[in-house]
A and B are shown apart, each in its own frame.
Chain A
Amino acid sequence: NAGVTQTPKFQVLKTGQSMTLQCAQDMNHNSMYWYRQDPGMGLRLIYYSASEGTTDKGEVPNGYNVSRLNKREFSLRLESAAPSQTSVYFCASSAQGGDGYTFGSGTRLTVV
Chain B
Amino acid sequence: KQEVTQIPAALSVPEGENLVLNCSFTDSAIYNLQWFRQDPGKGLTSLLLIQSSQREQTSGRLNASLDKSSGRSTLYIAASQPGDSATYLCAVRASTDSWGKLQFGAGTQVVVTP
For residues 69 through 112 of chain A, which have their beta carbon under 8 Å from a beta carbon of chain B?
A: 90, 92, 94, 97-99, 101-106
Number of chain A residues whose Cβ lies closer than 8 Å to a Cβ of chain B: 26
Do A97 and B98 touch (CB < 8 A)?
yes
Interface string of B79-95 (1 = CB under 8 A from A): 00000000001010100
Do A48 and B101 touch (CB < 8 A)?
yes
Do A42 and B107 touch (CB < 8 A)?
yes
Do A43 and B100 touch (CB < 8 A)?
no
A104 partner, pick from B31, B41, B43, B46, beta carbons under 8 A = B43
Number of chain B residues whose Cβ lies closer than 8 Å to a Cβ of chain A: 26
Interface residues of B (CB under 8 A from A): 4, 9, 31-32, 34, 36, 41-46, 49, 89, 91, 93, 97-102, 104-107
| CB within 8 Å for A42 and B4 given contacts A101-B34, A105-B42, A105-B43 | yes
Which A residues are in CB contact (< 8 Å) with B105?
42
